[in-house]
Amino acid sequence: MNQNLSDKQSVAAMRSAFVARGVATAHPVIASRAAGAYLWDETGRKYLDFVGGIGVLNVGHNHPAVVAAVQKQLESFSHVCFQVVGYEPYIRLASRLSDLVAPGQGYKSVFLTTGAEAVENAIKIARGYTNRPGVIAFRGGFHGRTLLGMSLTGMSSPYKQNFGPFAPDVYHAPYPNAYHGITSDDALKALQTIFSTQIQPDRVAAIILEPVQGDGGFLAAPAEFMQALRELTKNHGIVFICDEIQTGFGRTGKMFGFQHSGILPDLVTVAKSLAGGLPISGVIGRPEIVDAPQPGGLGGTYGGNPLACAAANAVLDIFEQENLLERSVKIGEQLRAGLEDLKAKHSEMGEIRQMGAMVAVEFVSDAQVKTPDSALVQRVLDSAREEGLLIIKCGVERNVVRFLSPLNVSEQDVSDALGMFGRALAAAKAAA
């Protein structure tokens, strides 16, 4: 029956018939193949991909070194489960990440499969270490679609819907957003209000935040805010967790976003671009904290899969060999300069945000009132796709366009992307 259906209907029609409605797809495109910064659909049309699986492909699609590493590992074994027998790629990856996150500090790791798992395990570790229940997250933050991930996420739509009740002992504080009038001092005062009115600091196990909010709109936490949080958490014995799932592995111009602030978190969650497209996540942190759970308390059947570990080690090699951190900074500068030129012609571009190659534009219908314009953003995305550029939106109001190019993309490709984006914006405005 299914074979007959596939003969009569397109893959897109089959998707509508058999895939859950709740799995949203940003673009009505069916991928056929991909390489580097490009993706081709089933008709052979070529797209410049500035989504990268939502920040997963910092080294680009099908990097030859990643493909070779996975093929080599596959010839040995694809899965044995680290809770059954160990294997060298997992252990080597843990050692390398320890050196990258906190050189000489002996940080330890546990590997999992998804970003949401990493977040959940970071909270579990923090609670096990402190024997406290409370967790503070931030409005606009995104930490996954699991029960605890949704509870920590600081956005209602589309993630929370009617999925409650949510996990208890989770509290949300404002996140700095200078464009909309929330300073670091405002956010810190609100945090103190939570301590005064909702939960005492000696009952808080962890504070978790993204150094640059990803789905929340590419908002960077000011260095003074990060430093104040680090001092506050030390004073109260609270575990400080940096969610680096989207910011990690060069996206911000440094290996991790927290490094822009000169602080060192207790725990770091990683996923997305760690393995160049293969599913793996991890928690890396101070040994006395990571070792708080007893044996058997951490892990998972597929956590730290050998193929994914091999790919992750290859990704770290690529960063060293291709100077991708320097390239990230240059990509960001090129994108920002081009977007600033466009902003001079389009008042709807309310604010351009850029840290390394983590770049976004917030769109507003009124530059003075800063009214979110999500409808324009959707038209821009659709028009950009027609131009041959894939980009996606973010922000609590979904009025922010984000750019997630590979970090090894060429200058010409970035220039082409800016041209496509400019034409798409003009077309989107004309279609209003």
- Asked if residue 268 has pLDDT above 70, the reply is yes
- The reply to whether 331 and 301 lie within a common domain is no
Is the same domain home to 369 and 312?
Answer: no
**Cβ neighbours of residue 352 under 8 Å, at least 6 residues apart?**
336, 339, 340, 343, 359, 360, 361
User: How high is the mean pLDDT of the chain?
Assistant: 96
- 223 and 340 co-located in one domain: no
Residues 6+ apart with CB under 8 A from 419: none
Q: What pTM did the predictor assign?
A: 0.95
Q: Which CATH number is 224's domain given?
A: 3.40.640.10
283 Cβ neighbours under 8 A, 6+ residues apart = 109, 110, 112, 118, 121, 122, 125, 267, 268, 269, 270, 290
Domain end (from 284, 305, 322): 322
Question: 128 and 234 share a domain?
Answer: yes
Cβ atoms of residues 303 and 110 within 8 Å: yes
Do 273 and 250 touch, CB atoms closer than 8 A? yes
Tell me the CB-side half-sphere exposure of residue 279, using CA atoms within 13 A.
Answer: 10
Question: What is the per-residue pLDDT across 359-397, written as a single tens digit (0 to 9) for each?
Answer: 999 999 998 999 999 999 999 999 999 999 999 999 999
Q: Mark whether 145 and 278 lie in a shared domain.
A: yes
How many residues does the structure list for the chain? 432
Please give the structure tokens belonging to residue 170. 């989770």
Q: Is the domain of 226 the same as that of 173? A: yes
Report the distance separating Cα 431 and Cα 429, nearest Å. 5
Boundary residue ending a domain (278, 298, 322): 322
How do residues 143-186 score in pLDDT, each as one tens digit? Answer: 999 999 999 999 998 999 999 999 999 999 999 999 999 999 99
Q: Which one-letter amino acid corresponds to residue 136?
A: I
Domain enclosing residue 305, as ranges = 65-322
User: Which is it for the CA torsion 375, 378, 383, 386, positive or negative?
Assistant: negative
Query: Among 294, 322, 350, where does a domain finish?
Result: 322
Shared domain check, 234 and 216: yes
Write the CATH number for 7. 3.90.1150.10
Nearest residue to 106 (alpha-carbon basis) of 284, 281, 280, 265: 284
Mean pLDDT of 264-292: 98
Domain count, the chain: 2
- The answer to whether 117 and 281 have CB atoms below 8 angstroms apart is yes
Mean pLDDT (whole number) for 328-357: 98
Task: Look at residue 432 in the predicted model and tell me its pLDDT.
Answer: 81
pLDDT at 314 over 80: yes
Q: Please indicate whether residue 13 or residue 323 has the higher confidence score (pLDDT).
A: 323
Q: Is the same domain home to 381 and 288?
A: no
Identify whether residues 167 and 147 lie together within a single domain. Answer: yes
Written as one string, the DSSP assignment of 347-384 is: TTEEEEEEETTEEEEEEEEETTTTEE-HHHHHHHHHHH
Smallest CA-to-CA distance from 355 within 263, 202, 207, 248 is with 248
Q: Which residue has the tokens 């027998």?
A: 85
13 CB-near residues (< 8 Å, 6+ apart):
none
Q: Is pLDDT above 90 for 48?
A: yes
* Nearest CA-CA partner of 349 in 257, 424, 252: 424
Q: Are residues 316 and 420 in the same domain?
A: no
Look at residue 282 in the predicted model and tell me its pLDDT.
98
Q: What number of H helices and E strands is found in the chain?
A: 14, 18
Whether 60 has a pLDDT exceeding 80, the answer reads yes
**Residue 9: predicted pLDDT:** 57
* pLDDT of residue 4 exceeding 90: no
- 107 with 232, same domain: the answer is yes
Q: Are residues 317 and 336 in the same domain?
A: no
Percent over 70 (pLDDT), the chain: 98
